[in-house]
Amino acid sequence: MSDATLEQSRRALGEAERQRERSERRRGFILALPSFAYMVIFFAIPLVIVLVYSFATRTSTGSTALSDWNLDAYRKLGEPIVRNVVVRSVILALITTLVCLVVAYPFAWFCATRSALTRNLLLVAVMIPFWTNFLVRNYAWRILLSAGGPISSFTEAIGLGETNILFTKTAVVIGLVYAYLPFMILPLYASIDRLDRRLVEASSDLYASGPQTFRRVVLPLTMPGVIAGSILVFVPSMGAYVTPELLGGGKETLLGSYIVTQFLTARNWPVGASLSFVLMAVMLVSTIIYFRSGGKNL
């Protein structure tokens, strides 16, 4: 072949390769389009609307004027009343996360160390309540926890007297733990399942006791699951609305109900919007930070 024809064929092949890359990119974009459109329409655009409203002005009649853009709503978030609601919600979400973690870890460990059949059955059992209507489950807890309910009858029967947990913080935590436990179990299960059992044996071979092995080897290596599960429980617990209303009786205002109040009762849309947006932003940022750093450590 002469140099000229060689050069010609090289050019033709280069062109064919570029064309193939272009068509592959186009195909990927078309496949992603439906989910992309869905996210834009039902997530991004509403988020922008919320953001816009947070800078709007509340008129004296309680309607919202999309003019005179200002930061009043954000300033209001610094007031003690809002701060108390935030602190209370954070504490409740932390307790919920912690209880979930303590309950889920041994269960996830148990699951991950069973035979394939048993673990699948157990995981399905974890998911079943999840497919039941959320409200139904909350009302079920109302019955269980109420003064004349089964739990109360039981404690009375064994001589501990009547218990009345309904409409307390405890009831809210119980309800939230129940609701979000699967979110904790699944990532924990995944990370424990991935843990190389030989590392546990190696630790024991190197004179570590059970608790030492857990603290030095098992926990650090399953930390990605712990953190992922904690985020997945903490985030929805922070904004929970239905459970605190139904099981807590709305006695103590939490973030979710406070935001609802701002929109529906106080008719202060800018404050509701700003609070929603800040809550969302904090969660989003912390999640991103986690997955960025987690991606490198794993």
Partner 1 sequence: MSEPPGSDLNPAAAVSLRGISKFFDDVTAVDHVDLEIGDGEFFALLGPSGCGKTTTLRMIGGLEIPSEGSLRIFGDEVGPLPPNKRPVNTVFQNYALFPHMSVADNVAFGLRMRKVDRAETASRVAQAISLVRMAGMENRRPAQLSGGQQQRVALARALVNRPKVLLLDEPLAALDLKLRQEMQFELKQLQREVGITFVFVTHDQEEALALSDRIGVMNEGRLLQVGTPEEMYDAPVDRFVADFIGRSNFLAGTLEDVSTVCLANGTRIRVPAVDAEIAAPGSAIQVSLRPERVMIADESAAPEGAASLSGRVSAVTFLGNSIVYHVGLDWMTVEVETDHRPDLRRHAVGDDVVLWWRDDAIAVVRP
Which of residues 204 and 287 has its CB atom nearest to partner 1 in the complex?
Answer: 204
CA atoms within 13 A on the CB side of 178: 21
Q: Closest distance between partner 1 and the C-beta of residue 14, in Å?
A: 38
Q: Closest distance between partner 1 and the C-beta of residue 219, in Å?
A: 10
Which of residues 63 and 209 has its CB atom nearest to partner 1 in the complex?
Answer: 209
Q: Closest distance between partner 1 and the C-beta of residue 223, in Å?
A: 9
Which of residues 103 and 200 has its CB atom nearest to partner 1 in the complex?
Answer: 200
The 3-state DSSP class for residue 161 equals coil
70: left (phi over 0), alpha (psi -120 to 50) or beta: beta
CB contact at 8 A, 72 and 57 = yes
Which of residues 125 and 202 has its CB atom nearest to partner 1 in the complex?
Answer: 202
CB contact at 8 A, 61 and 237 = no
Measured CA distances, 61 to 57, 58, 102, 266, 269 (Å): 11, 8, 49, 11, 12
Secondary element (H or E) of residue 65: strand 64-65
Task: In whole angstroms, give the CA distance from residue 200 to residue 213.
Answer: 7
Tokens linked to 29: 């974009």
DSSP classification of residue 130: G
Tokens linked to 57: 């002005």
Q: Closest distance between partner 1 and the C-beta of residue 218, in Å?
A: 11
Which of residues 131 and 207 has its CB atom nearest to partner 1 in the complex?
Answer: 207
Interface residues toward partner 1, by CB under 8 A: 196, 198-199, 201-209, 212, 216-217, 220-221
Which of residues 99 and 192 has its CB atom nearest to partner 1 in the complex?
Answer: 192
Q: Closest distance between partner 1 and the C-beta of residue 297, in Å?
A: 8
Which of residues 198 and 292 has its CB atom nearest to partner 1 in the complex?
Answer: 198
Q: Closest distance between partner 1 and the C-beta of residue 222, in Å?
A: 11
How many Cβ atoms from other residues are within 10 Å of residue 216's Cβ? 13
- The position carrying tokens 């990532």 is 187
Q: Closest distance between partner 1 and the C-beta of residue 191, in Å?
A: 13
